[in-house]
Structure 1
Amino acid sequence: MKLVKKTTLLLGASAMLAGSPLASAAVEANFGVTSNYLWRGVTQSGDDPSVSGGLDYTHDSGFYAGAWVGTIDWGMGGSTETDLYLGYSGESNGFDYDVGYIYYAYLDDDYKDSDFGELYFNGGYLGFGFGVAYTVNSQVDDGMLFDTGDIYYNVSYGWDLANNYSLSLLYGYYDFDAGSDGDYGHVQLDLAKGDFTFSVSKAEEEAGDDDVKLVVSWGTTF
C-alpha cells in the first residue's frame, strides 16, 4: 500500500509559501508498472500486475505533499488504492530524515471501512536506513488488523555496484495492536538499474503467504 484531497494539500502549501520571493517549488508526476504490487511483503494485487501513478509537490524548505493511485485486488474484484501524504524531509551532517503522515484510502464499496492513516519517520546514514510507521486513525473495526495502534518497523542497507547498478536489502516487521497472532516479518532484496528493479521478497507465514515472490518493476518521473 502505498494518499483531505490533493487539491487541498497543494493549495495549502501554496498559501503557506505565498509572499516569499525566494520560495522555490516543483511539481513532479510519476508512473509505474509492476508484475506484483507488494506492500510490506504482502501482495496487494493478488500476485498479478499493477499500474500506478502519482503527483508530488516539493519545496526547497523540505515540505512536500502528494497523491498516488495504484490498482489492487484483494480477492474481491479489482479496485484502486489512493494514498494522500504530506511531510518534511531534510539532511543534517550526513543524516537524512523524513517525517510525515499518509492516508490510505479505498473508494470502492467492496473495500469500504478499510481506510487508515499513519505517522511515519524514516532516516538514513552512510547506506543504512531505518523507519517506523504508527497507525493513528482507522476505519477498520476495533480489534482487527490495521486498527489504530499498529506499528511497522524496517531496517535496510544499500550498495552502489558497477555499471550503475544498485543493491538493497530490507527487513521489516509488522507489530499489530490486535495481538501477536498476526505479527510477521519479511525480507526483500532489490537489484536496480535506471528505471527497472528486480525484487526477491519473502514474508513469514503469519502474513498469510510465505511463498518467495519474484517481481519486476518499472517506474519513471516527469
Structure 2
Amino acid sequence: MKIRNTLPLALFGLSMFSQASFAEVSANIGVTSNYLWRGVTQSADGASVSGGIDYSHESGFYAGTWLGSIDWGNGNGVETDWYAGYSGEAGDFGYDVGYIYYAYPEEEYDDSNFGEVYLNGSFGDLGFGVAYTLNSDADDDAPFGKGDLYYHVSYSFALPQDYALGLTYGYYSFDIDESVHGDKDYGHVQLDLSKGDFTFSISKADEESGDDDTKFVVSWGTSF
C-alpha cells in the first residue's frame, strides 16, 4: 500500500470491535510536498493529499481503499487503489500477500489502470518484497503492461529522541519490447527520517525512470 506509500481530506474514521470477530475499521489521511511512487513523482513534483479506509480482521485478512491526488502533466486527477490481502507472523518472520488495483477514472488517464499481486516479508528491521503486474489496460509489451516486476528491500532502525531512519532500494523491471520502447528498467533509493506523524525523505531514481532529479519531500500522515 502506498503511503503510497498510495486524496480528499473529507474522510471520517471509526473503529468497531466485536468480541466474536475482533474486526477493526480505520481511516487515514495525509499530505505530502511531492507524491513519490517507486522513486517517480506522481504529482508533477507538487503537493498531494490522500486518504483511505481499511478493514482488518484478527485472522490476518484485510481490505481497503486509498485515494491520492495526482498530476502526470496531463491534468489533475485522482488515483484510486483497491486492495485485499492476508498478513501474519511466523516466529520472527512477518509476511503479507495480496492484490492491489490502481484505478485512474479521469478521461485524461485512459488505459492507465492496472493490478498487481504482491508478496512482502520482514525479519526484524529488514523488509523485502516483490510485485507482479497481473492485469493492465496498457499493451502487454508496453511499460506498466502485464508481466512487469518490482522488487524492493528496506532497513530501518530507531534513533534517539523517538526519531527513526529508513533506507529503501527498489528496482522496476518492465516486460516490454525494447526495440519499440527502449530500456525502461530502473532502480531508485530513498532515505526517510521520521518522527511521529512527520517524515522527511530524500529520493533518487536512475535516468531510465525519466525522473532522475534528487527529490526532497516532507510528508504528514495519521490514522484513526
The answer to whether the 8 Å contact 2:140/2:147 transfers is no
More helix by share: 1
1:87 aligns with 2:85: yes
Partner of residue 97, structure 2: 99
Amino acid at match of 2:197: D
Distance in 2 (CA, whole Å) between partners of 1:90 and 1:126 is 14
Q: Distance in 2 between matches of 1:75 and 1:93?
A: 46
Q: Does 1:182 pair with 2:180?
A: no
1:201 to partner: Cα distance: 0.1
Match of 1:201 in 2: 203
Identity, % of aligned pairs?
65
Partners of 2:26 and 2:20 in 1: how far apart? 20
Number of the residue aligned with 1:24: 22
Q: Partners of 2:213 and 2:90 in 1: how far apart?
A: 40
**Aligned pairs for 1:1-222 within 5 A:** 2=4, 22-178=20-176, 179=178, 181-222=183-224
Q: Which runs of 4+ in 1 moved over 6 A?
A: none
Q: Unaligned stretches of 5+ in structure 1?
A: 4-19
> Aligned to 1:181, what secondary structure does the other structure show?
coil
Displacement of 1:21 in angstroms is 6.6
In structure 2, how many angstroms separate the alpha carbons of the residues matched to 1:117 and 1:170? 23
Report the Cα offset of residue 141 of structure 1: 2.1
Compute the TM-score of the two structures, normalised by the length of structure 2.
0.89
The residue type equivalent to 1:77 in the other structure is G
Write the deviation string for residues 102-155 of structure 1: whole angstroms up to 9, x where unpaired.
000000001011000000011000211101000000001231100000000001
- In structure 2, what residue type is equivalent to 1:140? A
Q: Distance in 2 between matches of 1:61 and 1:93?
A: 16
Which secondary structure does the structure 1 equivalent of 2:161 belong to? helix
**SS of the residue 2:45 aligns to:** coil
Paired residues in the alignment total 206
Counterparts of 1:181 and 1:21 in 2: how far apart (Å)? 54
Please say if residues 30 and 49 of structure 2, whose CA atoms lie closer than 8 Å, have aligned partners that are also in contact. yes
Instruction: Give 5+ residue unaligned stretches, structure 2.
Output: 7-17
Which residue in 1 is equivalent to 2:15?
none
